[in-house]
Structure 1
Amino acid sequence: MKISKEVKTGILVVVGIFLFIFGFHYLKGQNLFEDSNVYYTEFDYNALTTSSLVTIKGNSVGKIRDIAYDYKTGKTKVAFFINGELKFSKNSVVRMYEAGLMGGNAIALITAEDGDIAKSGDFLKSEVEEGLVASLSKNFSGLSGQLDAALISADTLMVNLNRLIVDDSDKGLKSTMNEFKETLKSFKNTSNNLNRVITKNDENIAITLERFKAASTDLSVMAKQLKDTNIGSTVESLNGTLGSLNTLLTTIKKGEGSLGKLMKDEALYNNMEGATKELEALLKDIKLHPKRYFRILSKKEIPYKEEKTN
């Protein structure tokens, strides 16, 4: 089938018109192949363009379609497209905000939790967020006053610091620095003296360290010998001896055995004390009258007389 030139020309014209319409709407921010809904709002003044974005939580979801001034109300009406997949309440608010210092303005959709789902063609409420430049401009006077106060404080600080440096009194910085300088000199002299003492006694210090090293070695050997010795058996034997001694002392304390009876039996103690006294008297009498006990020295018997004690 042969297509005539007229048909080809007509097809090219239709395609060209379609591309023109598509490109025109694309430049306006509308994609003919994308499912989108149009919504309306209004502002007291216009700071938007047809290329301004529509965002939600920082994400681009559409673009502004048309901006027109209403001569009756004195407000700017804005029509904008939003992707049809986005569902939100018709009680949501359209907020105009400053996208950046050089990025122009945009509108953001602040969704609401209540209300019916918005439909294409609905009118949404609007608000304006104060931008960074406007905020700085409004607060510039306050910032200027704070800056003046900061400069005055800095000037006062520098004046006080200058007075402290120039002050020649005992409490001044110069006096303090001089005292610190003298302290450093004294410390330096002490350090030099200490170095001289160490230098002069270097040999003695070395000998002392060697002796300390030898003593440490001997101590280590002695500790090793003590470790190798069977101290456990010695301690065990000592414990046995102490146990026996404890048993003996317990027996004596109870009055058992000869030594225990001697300590506990008062009659035996008294008899021994009397015997001791009689033995003492006998020895004393023998010493005073030996002839009484040794017949060889005297044939005459000398009777025993107990001496009177005062």
Structure 2
Amino acid sequence: MKISNETKVGALAIVGITLLILGFNFLKGNKLFSKSLVIYGTYENIEGLTASNPVIINGFQVGTVGKIEPDPDMRRIQVTFNINEDIRIPNNSIAVIAPNPLNITKVEIKLGNASDYLKNKDTINTVASEGLLDDVMKKVDPVLYQVNKSLGTLDSLISNVNSVVDQKAKRNISDLLANLNQVTASMVQSAASLQSMLAAETGSIAKTMNNVSSITGNMASNNAKISHVISNLDSATGKLAELDLQKTLNTLEGTIKELQAMTAKMNSGNGSIGLLLNDPSLYRNLASTGNKLNLLLDDIRMNPKRYLSISVFGKKKTAEPLMLPQPDTLNAPYIIVDKKNN
């Protein structure tokens, strides 16, 4: 089949146009056979940004600028960014235009810290950076203002000092300097005196250090004895710890409680001992009984026939009963009872 020249020319033209388009896109930095993540950004001023300008993250190019479409009223300009598909950008990132008068304008993406990422055809946050010269001037102007203000203040201060410092003030300053020299001389003299005093005390300090050294030497020589004493103390404390002190304390506590109960019972008047301690009438009865028993014993000793009543030769006259103890029983312990209180 014979192909006409017109067909060849048309096919060649189509191939040429295709290669031209592909080459143009390649020169712009677009990947020819891969998909891109398309995101949008809106600015008020794009600072000379044009299509195919690079988009960078941390100095590395991750895409290019696509279409730039202004609003009809030219207040807002929408910029399309073609980002490599494998790049993930947090949704709180910011796209900043970074103009450079010595190079092409580029867009720098400041990555955020969100866990969600931008999807295809999402809108990224944007900030329009000012020009380099404007930025420098804005930083320099406050410094220049402060320098000029400081120079004016310094000039005013110098004028005030010149107006205040007269001859009398100068003399006062001279006197002040002279006094300062005297103080310095006194300090030097005091330092010399202190040095001489320390030199005089050097011997005492050395003697004290020798005594300390002697004490430490004695302690070192008696180290075995000290260790033995410490060992004995350790053994004694160990034996003391082994004793069943808790059982002893519990027994002692029980004894004290029983003693307290017995004392309380005695104070309450219950029992014989309680009655003896708390009932005076019982005490007086016991005392009276003791006295009467003493009289009975004395009477039996002095007049036994009165109680035996055995007569061989006839009835004899009996003696009167005793009313008081005999003298030989006076030394015996007895208690005189008050009959009025009995």
TM-score under structure 1 length normalisation: 0.46
Q: TM-score, normalised by structure 2?
A: 0.43
